[in-house]
C-alpha cells in the first residue's frame, strides 16, 4: 500500500530495562528502568506499566492527554495480550489489540496508518512491548531454573515503544507498507527463531520492492525486526537468491540492540526489541539527518509452546513499513 | 465510524461442533462436525482446521480461491493465536492477527471494513473461532478432571465463522461501527465473565447511538456477543441506567446458541459463539427478510489465567458493527 495522505510520526517514546540501557544505545531511550519490576509486584504488571507509561510519555511530548488520542493499536507477547489490555484499561482510549508476535510494532503502525489514511482518525498511537522475564517463564522454563541457552537463541528484550501518529504535523511520514503472508519452511527448533522468521522477512521485502516498483537501493536502511545474527545471515543469503541487486543497506534490530559483550547469544528479540530500536536510535538518527528513507520490517515467530509440543513447525511473518523524512 | 462505501457481505460460512449442532439453529450452520477432533490428532489442530475450512467454504460460495482474497483478518482464544496463525499459513493470504477475546468477530469485521472503505482492499475475509476443549484446558482445568461449573459460568462454543467482504457486490452491508474502550468495574470472578463484560457492552452501545445520533429503536435487533443469561440481564439494567429509551430489541448470542435443556449454565461463549450465530442464523434471517438492521456487538473478557492469579479484575471490551440489508 502507498499512502495518499501519509500519517506523520509527530512524537514517540521508548522505555527499556537495565540490560538494554547498558547496550550501545542507552542514551537514545527516554527511560531506563532501574530494575525489572518497575515499582510493581510482578513482572507481568511491570510489563503492562511499561507500555502504559511509554504511550503516556509519547503523547505528553505533544502536550496531549490520553483522551485526545482517538485510537490505540497495540500488542505484546503475553497470553491473551494482557499487558496491552490492562494498559488500554488505564488509558481509556478506544482500543484494537493485535497479535503478531515480534512483528507487532510494524503491524500496529500499518493498521494505524491505513485507518488514518482512510480518513477515520486524526490521532492514533501504535505501540508494542515485551519483558524478558515474563516471556522467559511463559515460553520457556521457570526463570529460577537458569536453563542453559543454545547459541542460536535470542534474548527477549525488556522494552516498549510507542509512536503518536497524526494526520497533519511535522515529522517523518509513513509513506508505504506491505502486509506479510505467513511463511513456514518447516523449521522446528524453538531455540532458533531467527532462521524460522528469515524466509518471511525476505518474502515481504521482495514483495515490497516489487509491488512498489522501487530500486533495491531506494532505502537508506532496511532493518528487520529481530532475526538476530543467525537469522540475519540467512536473510542476506535469501536476498541473493531473490535477486535483490544491488543489495539493500541492511541491518537487524536484534543485532543492533545489544553489544557483542552482553551475552545475548544470537541477539535481542521480543515485540519490544524492534519497537525500542525504532522509537529510540532509529527515529533519532532520522531526525538528525543521518538517513532519510527507512524500511522497518518487524518479524514474528507465530508458534506457541503448545503448537511446538504437538510437533508443529514455526510459522513466520513479517510486515514492512516505509518511513521517510 | 459511518462508512462512505459500505463493504458488502457477499458470502459467509460457519462450522460448529456436535453440541452446537444439536441446539436450536443446527439447520442454519454450513457444517456440523461429527466429533471434536475433526480428523486431526489434537483439539488445537482441529480448531485451526475449523477456521481454515470455514474461510475456504465462505470464499468458495463466490467461486473464489484463497489467492483471490487480498487480506485475512482473524483471531481466536488460544495462546499466541495459533489457530489463526496456522490457518493463515495454509491459506497463504496476507494476514493481520487480532486478539480481542470473544469480541474478535466484531473487531475483525471493523478492521476489514475500515481498510476496505479506505480503499486499500476490494476483497477481505474476517473470521474467528473457538473450541470448547482447547479453551477448557488452556483457561481452566485439565478436561479429564471434570471440574464442576458455577451456575454463572458459560460454555465455550466449538464454532467458527467467516465473512467474505467485497467492496462491490450484492448482500447486506456494514454501514457503521464503534470501537470500544476497555471497561473494568472490578469484577474478579472468572466464573462470571458475563457480568465482567456487560458494562463494556452497555458503554459501546450507548456510545454508538450517541455518536451516530440514532434513535434507540433504529435497529431491528441489537445482539451482544456472549454475555449469557447473567450478563444479558445486567446489560438490560445498564440500558435503563443509561436512559436508552425506547429499549432496543435486544438479545445475546450466548443465550441464543444453545437450548435451555443443554446444560450450558449461563450460555455459550468464545470467539466462535458470536461468529457462528452471526454467520449462521442471523445473516440467514436477514437475507430472508426477517429483519433489515442489525447491530452486532461482540464482547470480550480480556484477562488471562496469569492476570487472575495475580489478583487482577477482568477488563471487558465490546465493539459494535451495524449490518443493514
Nearest to A42 among B179, B183, B310 (CB): B310
Nearest to A310 among B45, B89, B119 (CB): B45
Inter-chain CB proximity A98 and B99 less than 8 Å:
yes
Nearest chain A Cα to B183, which residue?
A89
In this chain, the answer to whether the domains covering A8-166 and A173-324 adopt an identical fold is: yes
For helices B82-91 and B43-60, give the axis angle rounded to 10 degrees: 50
Taking only Cα atoms into account, the Rg of chain A, rounded to an integer number of angstroms, comes to: 18
**Strand pairing category for B316-324 and B293-301:** antiparallel
Answer whether B80's CB lies under 8 Å from A75's CB. no
Nearest to A315 among B77, B85, B180 (CB): B85
Write down the pTM of the prediction: 0.97
Locus of grid cell 513479517 = A318
DSSP state of A143: G
Give A 114-133 residues with CB within 8 A of chain B: 114-115, 117-120
Inter-chain CB proximity B307 and A101 less than 8 Å:
no
Residues on chain B touching A312 (C-beta within 8 angstroms): 82, 86
Distance from chain centroid for Cα B289: 22
Nearest chain A Cα to B185, which residue?
A89
* CB burial string A34-70: b at 16+ within 10 A, e below: eebebeeebbbbbbbbbbbbbbbbbbeeeebebeebb
**What distance in Å separates the CA atoms of residue B62 and residue A29, rounded to the nearest whole number?**
51
Q: Which residues contact B182 (CB under 8 A, 6 or more apart)?
A: A85, A88, A89, A92, A95, B200, B302, B315, B316, B317
**What distance in Å separates the CA atoms of residue B35 and residue B38, rounded to the nearest whole number?**
6
Weakly modelled stretches of chain A, pLDDT under 50? none
- Flag whether residue B197 sits within 8 Å of chain A, measured between CB atoms: no
Q: Which residues contact B128 (CB under 8 A, 6 or more apart)?
A: B51, B74, B75, B76, B104, B105, B108, B160, B161, B271, B272, B274, B275
Inter-chain CB proximity A80 and B315 less than 8 Å:
no
Nearest to A312 among B86, B88, B305 (CB): B86
Nearest to B182 among A45, A95, A115 (CB): A95
Each residue of B288-302: pLDDT tens digit? 999 999 999 999 999
Distances (CA, A) of A82 to A98, A136, A239, B86: 11, 16, 37, 22
Instruction: Give start and end residues of each alpha helix (H) in chain B.
Output: 18-21, 43-60, 82-91, 104-117, 132-139, 193-212, 228-241, 253-256, 271-277, 283-287, 305-309
Beta strands in A155-273 (DSSP E): 155-156, 159-166, 173-178, 221-224, 250-252, 268-269
The class (CATH top level) of B173-324 is alpha beta
Number of residues in chain B: 325
Domain ranges (residues) in chain B: 8-166, 173-324
The pLDDT of residue B146: 87
* DSSP codes, B216-243: TT-SSEEEESS-HHHHHHHHHHHHHHTT
Kindly report the nearest CA distance between residue B241 and chain A, in angstroms: 21
- Flag whether residue B203 sits within 8 Å of chain A, measured between CB atoms: no
SS3 content of chain A, % helix, strand, coil (to 5): 40, 25, 35
Give A 6-45 residues with CB within 8 A of chain B: 41-42, 44-45
> CA A108, B73, A193, A200: dihedral to nearest 10 degrees?
-90
Answer whether B127's CB lies under 8 Å from B55's CB. yes
Nearest chain B Cα to A81, which residue?
B99
Kindly report the nearest CA distance between residue B282 and chain A, in angstroms: 25
Inter-chain CB proximity B78 and A181 less than 8 Å:
no
Cell of B293: 438492521
Name beta bridge partners: A126: A73, A163
Each residue of A304-325: pLDDT tens digit? 999 999 999 999 999 999 999 9
Give which of B182, B204, B206 to mutate to test A binding, by max A Cβ within 10 Å. Answer: B182
The pLDDT of residue B23: 97
Inter-chain CB proximity B79 and A82 less than 8 Å:
no
Number of residues in chain A: 325
Inter-chain CB proximity A86 and B312 less than 8 Å:
yes
Inter-chain CB proximity B315 and A101 less than 8 Å:
no
Q: Which fold has domain B8-166?
A: Peroxisomal Thiolase; Chain A, domain 1 (3.40.47)
Number of neighbours of residue B18 by Cβ within 10 angstroms: 13
Number of neighbours of residue B64 by Cβ within 10 angstroms: 18
Q: Which contacts qualify for A235-240: CB closer than 8 Å, 24 or more apart?
A: A235/A198, A235/A201, A235/A202, A238/A198, A238/A199, A238/A201, A238/A202, A239/A202, A239/A205
Inter-chain CB proximity B304 and A95 less than 8 Å:
no
- Flag whether residue B70 sits within 8 Å of chain A, measured between CB atoms: no
Number of neighbours of residue B217 by Cβ within 10 angstroms: 14
Inter-chain CB proximity B71 and A101 less than 8 Å:
no
Would the ipTM clear 0.85, i.e. be above it?
Answer: yes
Answer whether B22's CB lies under 8 Å from B183's CB. no
Cell of B123: 476483497
**What distance in Å separates the CA atoms of residue A99 and residue A114, rounded to the nearest whole number?**
17
The pLDDT of residue B232: 97
Give which of A55, A93, A97, A270 to mutate to test B binding, by max B Cβ within 10 Å. Answer: A97
The pLDDT of residue A146: 87
Each residue of A134-168: pLDDT tens digit? 999 999 989 999 889 999 999 999 999 999 999 99
Q: Which residues contact B15 (CB under 8 A, 6 or more apart)?
A: B29, B30, B31, B32, B33, B50, B53, B54, B57, B159, B160, B276
**What distance in Å separates the CA atoms of residue A229 and residue B63, rounded to the nearest whole number?**
45
- Flag whether residue A315 sits within 8 Å of chain B, measured between CB atoms: yes
Answer whether B149's CB lies under 8 Å from B302's CB. no
Nearest chain B Cα to A121, which residue?
B1
Nearest to B98 among A71, A89, A98 (CB): A98
Q: If DSSP codes are grouped into helix, strand and coil, which group holds residue A194?
A: helix
Taking only Cα atoms into account, the Rg of chain B, rounded to an integer number of angstroms, comes to: 18
* DSSP codes, B29-70: SSEE-SSSSTTSSSHHHHHHHHHHHHHHHHHHTTT--GGG--
Nearest to A89 among B89, B96, B184 (CB): B184
DSSP state of A305: H
Kindly report the nearest CA distance between residue B37 and chain A, in angstroms: 14
The pLDDT of residue A247: 93
Inter-chain CB proximity A95 and B312 less than 8 Å:
no
Inter-chain CB proximity A42 and B312 less than 8 Å:
no
Residues on chain B touching A303 (C-beta within 8 angstroms): 80, 82, 85
Inter-chain CB proximity A306 and B78 less than 8 Å:
yes
The pLDDT of residue B2: 96
A241 burial class (0-12, 13-18, 19+ CB within 10 angstroms)?
Answer: exposed
Inter-chain CB proximity B98 and A96 less than 8 Å:
yes
Weakly modelled stretches of chain B, pLDDT under 70? none
Kindly report the nearest CA distance between residue B77 and chain A, in angstroms: 7
**Strand pairing category for B123-130 and B159-166:** antiparallel
Give A 250-269 residues with CB within 8 A of chain B: none
Amino acid at each position: 500500500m502507498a499512502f495518499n495522505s501519509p500519517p506523520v510520526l509527530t512524537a514517540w517514546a521508548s522505555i527499556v530495562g537495565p540490560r538494554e540501557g547498558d547496550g550501545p544505545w542507552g542514551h537514545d531511550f527516554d527511560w531506563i528502568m532501574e530494575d525489572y519490576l518497575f515499582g510493581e509486584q510482578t513482572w507481568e504488571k511491570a510489563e503492562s506499566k511499561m507500555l502504559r507509561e511509554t504511550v503516556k510519555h509519547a503523547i505528553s511530548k505533544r502536550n496531549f492527554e490520553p483522551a485526545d488520542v482517538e485510537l490505540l493499536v497495540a500488542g505484546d507477547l503475553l497470553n491473551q495480550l494482557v499487558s496491552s489490555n490492562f494498559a488500554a484499561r488505564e488509558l481509556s482510549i478506544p482500543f484494537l489489540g493485535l497479535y503478531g508476535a515480534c512483528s507487532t510494532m510494524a503491524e500496529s503502525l500499518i493498521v494505524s496508518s491505513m485507518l488514518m489514511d482512510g480518513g477515520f482518525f486524526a490521532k492514533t498511537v501504535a505501540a508494542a512491548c515485551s519483558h524478558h522475564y515474563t516471556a522467559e517463564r511463559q515460553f520457556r522454563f521457570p526463570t529460577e531454573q537458569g536453563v542453559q541457552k543454545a547459541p542460536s537463541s535470542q534474548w527477549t528484550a525488556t522494552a516498549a515503544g510507542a509512536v503518536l501518529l497524526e494526520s497533519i504535523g511535522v515529522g517523518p511520514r509513513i509513506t508505504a507498507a506491505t502486509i506479510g503472508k505467513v511463511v513456514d519452511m518447516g523449521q522446528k527448533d524453538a531455540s532458533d527463531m531467527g532462521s524460522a522468521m528469515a524466509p518471511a522477512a525476505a518474502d515481504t521485502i521482495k514483495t515490497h520492492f516489487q509491488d512498489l516498483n522501487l530500486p533495491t537501493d531506494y532505502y537508506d536502511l532496511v532493518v528487520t525486526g529481530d532475526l538476530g545474527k543467525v537469522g540475519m545471515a540467512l536473510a542476506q543469503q535469501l536476498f541473493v537468491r531473490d535477486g535483490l541487486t544491488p543489495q539493500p543497506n541492511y541491518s537487524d534490530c536484534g543485532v543492533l540492540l545489544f553489544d557483542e559483550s552482553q551475552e545475548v547469544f544470537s541477539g535481542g528479540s521480543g515485540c519490544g526489541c524492534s519497537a525500542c530500536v525504532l522509537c529510540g536510535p532509529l527515529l533519532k538518527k532520522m531526525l538528525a539527518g543521518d538517513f532519510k528513507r527507512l524500511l522497518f520490517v518487524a518479524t514474528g515467530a507465530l508458534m506457541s509452546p503448545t503448537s511446538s509440543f504437538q510437533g508443529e513447525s514455526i510459522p513466520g511473518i513479517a510486515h514492512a513499513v516505509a518511513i521517510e523524512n
